[in-house]
Structure 1
């Protein structure tokens, strides 16, 4: 499964019999995920100009999944005693694929959140699987190569754009904080490196640092047993999805309006059979 993605550097990892479940019960889901992820690319300008949240590329991935039927769903689990509701718990999942026989796959994309969001996702999947609501949980995040190569990628952008000062960033619509300015100046002075090499270190540390959602943080949790025994498919986005031939306006990306959510309100989930 996902051989084409693996050849492109995507990290694919299965846990708790997810391989058998997906290959036997969900061949269509495999094809849909492969198609959506295989078409994904993120221009370097979007990585730099996307503010603190998702890039437009990950928003495009969400839209592609939605078009294939992977919609936002709010699962509600109720406990009743003699007909009286005693407990009601809701679990909202951004992308859910429900098949005609009632079997369900849940998917979350964690591009650049704080890493405790992985705990939330994995625990949600565990509870939903225990209640028979889902068969497999899927998490898509930045892969190890993308996290490792983020500084070289941003440095390449800075060098190719000829960035040599804070004023050059302003022309791109980027406004570093006073602390970030001081950090760049300090790195230039202590290491004797030019602005185009100093700024990427500060930018990446602040925006895509170790405490954000990326492959190592996800793998650490799964190997500790978080989410177990829910069958899991983990997908790491590689650095190969970053492109340098778009020549987009970083300022327009940084200052542009956010795209509307793919689905503002979660859809109701039809009754499901056993997972």
Structure 2
């Protein structure tokens, strides 16, 4: 796997966006998206430009996927992206030398999974604080879909765990000073201590093993710079 950096080109990706997120890509994914899937790339850059990490939504114990993932998904949904299951069907035909059909093999269906956002020829998942095993499923699916000609590229939006953990601890400590001593709880309202959740580091480890093949993949991770600057508030 060759890691590329086409997102560093200001023609491909605006400097203001690059300054607010961390990136990792394979097979020139950003340049491919801009050239081959311009409408989808416009949607992606619009979301990255407008999204800001709000501590009151981020540092909130959530259920299934959490408020941040839902917020980003909704931003794509309003732009016509859909949660979609991608199944692959393989049909084999035996031909003679004269290309006469001798027989047909049984059709084989490979059942996929619901990708968070799909539009045109781009698959995009938001993996925010989920179990890191989700990454194995996501990356293997992207490779299979690309090899089958279903997608031109894939995008994974996640978080830079260490950067955001430090920010969360800072915001929480500031919040505690506003509370009476008897109400101060040192523990963060969400668990950011575990390293077994989806994040940039875990995704990078898998990608750098070469699991993507030739599939262009752009990983985008929220960092401290994605924060909107507001303090944490429980209200």
- Using the size of structure 2 for normalisation, the TM-score is 0.78
The C-alpha deviation readout for 1:186-209, integer Å capped at 9, x for no partner, is: xxxxxxxxx64xx34xx66x4452
Tell whether the 8 Å contact from 2:24 to 2:219 is kept in structure 1 after alignment.
yes
How far off its partner does 1:248 sit?
Answer: 4.3
Tell whether the 8 Å contact from 1:44 to 1:157 is kept in structure 2 after alignment.
no
Alignment match of 1:117 (pick from 110, 134, 139): 134
User: For 1:69-84, what aligned pairs fall within 5 Å after superposition?
Assistant: 69-81=80-92, 82=103
- What is the number of residues matched between the two proteins? 211
Alignment match of 1:60 (pick from 65, 71, 74): 71
Alignment match of 1:39 (pick from 42, 50, 56): 50
Tell whether the 8 Å contact from 1:142 to 1:215 is kept in structure 2 after alignment.
yes
Alignment match of 1:161 (pick from 176, 190, 211): 176
Asked if 1:5 corresponds to 2:21, the answer is no
Tell whether the 8 Å contact from 1:78 to 1:88 is kept in structure 2 after alignment.
yes
Evaluate the alpha carbon distance shift between residue 248 and residue 53 of structure 1 in structure 2; reply closer, same or farther with a 3 A threshold.
farther
1:129 counterpart residue number: 146
Asked if 1:224 corresponds to 2:209, the answer is yes
Tell whether the 8 Å contact from 2:159 to 2:223 is kept in structure 1 after alignment.
yes
**SS at 2:212's partner residue?**
coil
Gaps of 5+ in 2: 1-11, 93-102
Distance 2:193 2:41 in 1: 29
Tell whether the 8 Å contact from 2:81 to 2:119 is kept in structure 1 after alignment.
yes
User: For 1:135-214, what aligned pairs fall within 5 Å after superposition?
Assistant: 135-143=152-160, 146-162=161-177, 168=183, 196=186, 199-200=187-188, 206-214=191-199
1:88 counterpart residue number: 109
**SS at 1:42's partner residue?**
coil
Tell whether the 8 Å contact from 1:18 to 1:232 is kept in structure 2 after alignment.
yes
How far off its partner does 1:43 sit?
Answer: 2.1
Over the residues paired in the alignment, what is the CA RMSD in angstroms?
A: 2.5
The structure whose residues are more often helix, as a share, is: 1
